[in-house]
């Protein structure tokens, strides 16, 4: 298990409590994320300003990232070396190894604020109030940077016994290096062909130093780009590809792919959850994770050291909230990791999990009860224009629901169809009401496309295809509190065709797309609409483009016409432009809800 103490700081007392929880559920490694743009949290005797300056920021980002709002309440904290020793010993007594992470060359703003001469421009820099990826990083052309980082790592290696030292390596923009004379001179002197090779130079130089002290490096999967010493290990976070590549090239890997291991995502109906970074990861989904990638043969599989649950704390301010995000998902991951695949049984796990809750209550652990919300499964109803509603519960319990259309309260007896009348349906487990009082709801808005046959030219990426194509016509408009069940995601363009059933007079066609660039989700380049009466010959209806609001944008055209078939060609922007998170990788395209009126 990992804990980010930079975005928000957690006391030694809580860190020990967290370690107690790890020990109880047989997690044997604690990845302590100690430095980042928003705070440097470990005392370094030789460079006191790292914590005196770098440990504090002028305020913090508040609310959803898209609003870019900040408070002006000074915020900070750090651990003294004495406290670090205390935590390491506390963990060791519970058979837990502590892996410290010192981030480089990116996520370095707090260090640069303390020692601006370590950046390419010389600053001034500030400890960041907001979350994200920042262009100012350690200068790779300045030897002083390596001297300082080696001194820092020397103190770190005295404090931690871990064979592996985590050196970060993720999300390092190359903007500053491109125009920095020192970085450019380094590239020339070392014969490096671009700034990506300069990043490898940086990591390998640090790696050699760490190795010279008898330790090994581990880093986020970006460190694979450009070659590594044989004893470097990789933490696979951008999917599983990094772990696969590492294992196939004889490097150890820890699997922590975002889809299954990022415990900062929503775990239940977002309406009932505290604000989270986005995404949807239920405890059941964690339990379905298979940490050894299917691509590996038995020999390669030996290089998978294990898997890790990450608790990034941009939106997590309190110990209670950390507990809420980590538990019970950590319990599911622990069982996945310690139990042979053929012995894992989801229903049995859920059953045993429920019997663990009284112990967690006794320990005053604020675990999430989201598992016991009613889950809505939506599908095509018996006739076009109707949505089949299937309400599920993870545990045996009666389900009750209300419907604003009929203003009634009902016992749920089985799936039923909802017809073309706007309404909100709310459901809960009433036998478990005392302990699990959360009610979840869906608001349906019907338009001419709702619950009509839909075809896609390309299926969504499997990561973001939970509800399939029907998601786009299920009557539910996806929210900005982003969950996979409501948005479909592609890394390419797609053409969508909906059959309205008969030729009709129309005046509007639209589709929603998400603009959340910090999560690599970009708007389409343009959306081309066309209509047809026979499904073969389509005539242009209009092109929508130029939207740029953050969050959900509706690409639409208002025009009178007659159509039975509506076609929506959504054009992908290609790779993420420079200056954005994930630059150079294919952008995500997130769509939800076709609107035809």
Per CB under 5 A, which region of 28-36, 175-183, 270-278, 549-557 contacts Zn ion? 175-183
Q: Which of residues 5-64 bind Zn ion (CB under 5 A)?
A: none
Residue closer to Zn ion (CB basis): 183 or 389: 183
Q: Is 466 a catalytic residue?
A: no
Q: Which of residues 420-479 bind ligand ACM (CB under 6 A)?
A: none
Q: Which of residues 162-221 bind ligand ACM (CB under 6 A)?
A: 170-171, 220
How many alpha carbons lie under 13 Å from residue 550 in its C-beta half-sphere? Answer: 11
For residue 535, the 8-state DSSP code is S
Under the binding rule (CB under 5 A), the answer on residue 182 touching Zn ion is yes
Closest by CA to 289, choosing from 331, 322, 251, 326, is 331
Residue closer to Zn ion (CB basis): 177 or 541: 177
Closest by CA to 75, choosing from 3, 137, 4, 128, is 128
Binding partner selected for residue 139 from Zn ion, ligand ACM, none, CB under the kind-specific 5 to 8 Å limit = Zn ion
Per CB under 5 A, which region of 82-90, 101-109, 137-145, 577-585 contacts Zn ion? 137-145
Contact status, residue 314 vs residue 131, Cβ threshold 8 Å: yes
Under the binding rule (CB under 5 A), the answer on residue 127 touching Zn ion is no
Report how far residue 144's alpha carbon sits from residue 303's, in angstroms, rounded to the nearest whole number.
Answer: 35
For residue 572, the 8-state DSSP code is P
Under the binding rule (CB under 5 A), the answer on residue 119 touching Zn ion is no
Q: How far is the CB of 444 from ligand ACM (least distance, A)?
A: 35
Residues 220-259: x where in contact with ligand ACM by CB under 6 A, - otherwise, as a string: x----------------x----------------------
User: For the chain, what percentages of helix, strand and coil (3-state, to nearest 5) are there?
Assistant: 30, 30, 45
Closest by CA to 390, choosing from 412, 408, 410, 369, is 412
Residue closer to ligand ACM (CB basis): 220 or 520: 220
Q: How far is the CB of 229 from ligand ACM (least distance, A)?
A: 21
Under the binding rule (CB under 6 A), the answer on residue 32 touching ligand ACM is no
Report how far residue 25's alpha carbon sits from residue 100's, in angstroms, rounded to the nearest whole number.
Answer: 21
Under the binding rule (CB under 5 A), the answer on residue 183 touching Zn ion is yes
Q: Is 36 a catalytic residue?
A: yes
Under the binding rule (CB under 6 A), the answer on residue 36 touching ligand ACM is no
Under the binding rule (CB under 5 A), the answer on residue 120 touching Zn ion is yes
Under the binding rule (CB under 5 A), the answer on residue 139 touching Zn ion is yes
Catalytic residue among 171, 221, 269, 273: 171
Under the binding rule (CB under 5 A), the answer on residue 180 touching Zn ion is yes
Residue closer to ligand ACM (CB basis): 251 or 265: 265
Under the binding rule (CB under 6 A), the answer on residue 520 touching ligand ACM is no
Q: Which long-range contacts (CB under 8 A, 24 or more apart) does 547-550 make?
A: 547/513, 547/515, 547/523, 548/515, 548/523, 549/515, 550/66, 550/67, 550/515, 550/516
How far, rounded to the nearest angstrom, does the alpha carbon of residue 492 sit from its chain's CA centroid? 20
Number of residues that bind ligand ACM (CB under 6 A): 4
Residue closer to ligand ACM (CB basis): 78 or 220: 220
Report how far residue 558's alpha carbon sits from residue 516's, in angstroms, rounded to the nearest whole number.
Answer: 26
Residue 259 in tokens: 């889809």
Residue closer to ligand ACM (CB basis): 238 or 344: 238
Count of CB atoms within 10 A of residue 485's CB?
21
Neighbour-count burial for 70-83, b at 16+ CB within 10 Å, e otherwise: beeeebbebbeeee
Q: Is 548 a catalytic residue?
A: no
Which residues participate in catalysis according to the annotation?
Answer: 36, 107, 171
Give me the residues that bind ligand ACM (CB under 6 A), please: 170-171, 220, 237
């Amino acid at each position: 298990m990992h804990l980010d103490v930079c975005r928000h700081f957690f006391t030694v007392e809580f860190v020990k409590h967290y370690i107690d929880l790890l020990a109880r559920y047989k997690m044997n490694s604690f990845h302590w994320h100690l430095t980042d743009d928003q705070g440097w949290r470990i005392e370094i005797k030789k460079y006191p300003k790292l914590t005196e300056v770098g440990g504090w920021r002028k305020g913090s980002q508040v609310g959803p990232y898209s609003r870019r709002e900040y408070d002006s309440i000074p915020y900070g904290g750090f651990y003294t070396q004495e406290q670090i020793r205390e935590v390491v010993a506390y963990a060791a007594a519970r058979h837990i190894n502590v892996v410290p992470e010192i981030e480089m060359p990116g996520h370095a703003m707090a260090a640069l604020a303390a020692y601006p001469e370590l950046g390419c421009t010389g600053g001034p820099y500030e400890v960041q109030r907001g979350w994200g990826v920042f262009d100012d990083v350690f200068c790779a052309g300045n030897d002083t940077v390596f001297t300082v980082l080696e001194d820092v790592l020397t103190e770190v290696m005295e404090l931690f016994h871990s064979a592996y030292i985590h050196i970060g390596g993720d999300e390092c923009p190359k903007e500053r290096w491109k125009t920095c004379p020192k970085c450019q001179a380094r590239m020339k002197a070392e014969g490096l062909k671009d700034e990506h090779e300069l990043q490898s130079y940086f990591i390998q130089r640090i790696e050699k130093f760490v190795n010279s002290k008898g330790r090994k490096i581990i880093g986020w999967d970006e460190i694979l780009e450009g070659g590594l010493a044989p004893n470097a290990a990789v933490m696979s976070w951008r999917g599983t590809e990094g772990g696969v590549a590492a294992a196939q090239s004889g490097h150890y890997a820890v699997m922590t792919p975002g889809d299954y291991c990022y415990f900062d995502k929503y775990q239940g109906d977002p309406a009932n959850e505290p604000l989270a970074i986005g995404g949807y990861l239920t405890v059941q989904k964690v339990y379905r994770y298979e940490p050894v990638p299917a691509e590996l043969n038995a020999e390669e599989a030996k290089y998978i050291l294990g898997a890790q649950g990450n608790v990034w704390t941009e939106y997590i301010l309190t110990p209670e909230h950390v507990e809420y995000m980590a538990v019970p998902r950590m319990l599911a991951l622990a069982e996945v990791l310690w139990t042979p695949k053929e012995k894992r049984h989801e229903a049995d796990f859920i059953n045993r999990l429920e019997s663990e809750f009284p112990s967690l209550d006794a320990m005053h652990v604020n675990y999430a009860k989201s598992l016991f919300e009613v889950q809505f499964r939506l599908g095509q109803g018996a006739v076009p224009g109707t949505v089949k509603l299937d309400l599920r519960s993870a545990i045996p319990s009666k389900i009750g629901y209300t419907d604003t259309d009929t203003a009634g309260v009902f016992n749920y007896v089985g799936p039923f169809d909802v017809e073309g009348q706007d309404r909100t349906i709310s459901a809960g487990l009433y036998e478990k009401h005392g302990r699990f009082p959360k009610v979840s709801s869906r608001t349906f808005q019907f338009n001419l496309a709702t619950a009509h046959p839909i075809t896609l030219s390309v299926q969504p990426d499997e990561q973001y295809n939970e509800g399939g194509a029907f998601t786009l016509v299920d009557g539910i408009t996806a929210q900005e509190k982003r969950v996979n069940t409501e948005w479909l995601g592609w890394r390419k363009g797609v053409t969508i065709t909906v059959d309205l059933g008969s030729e009709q007079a129309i005046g509007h066609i639209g589709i929603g797309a998400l603009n959340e660039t910090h999560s690599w989700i970009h708007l389409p380049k343009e959306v081309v609409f066309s209509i047809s009466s026979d499904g073969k010959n389509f005539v242009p209806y209009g092109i929508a483009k130029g939207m740029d609001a953050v969050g959900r944008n509706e690409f639409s055209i208002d025009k009178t016409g007659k159509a039975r078939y509506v076609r929506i060609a959504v054009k992908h922007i290609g790779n993420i432009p420079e200056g954005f998170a994930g630059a150079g990788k294919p952008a995500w395209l997130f769509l939800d809800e076709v609107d035809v009126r």
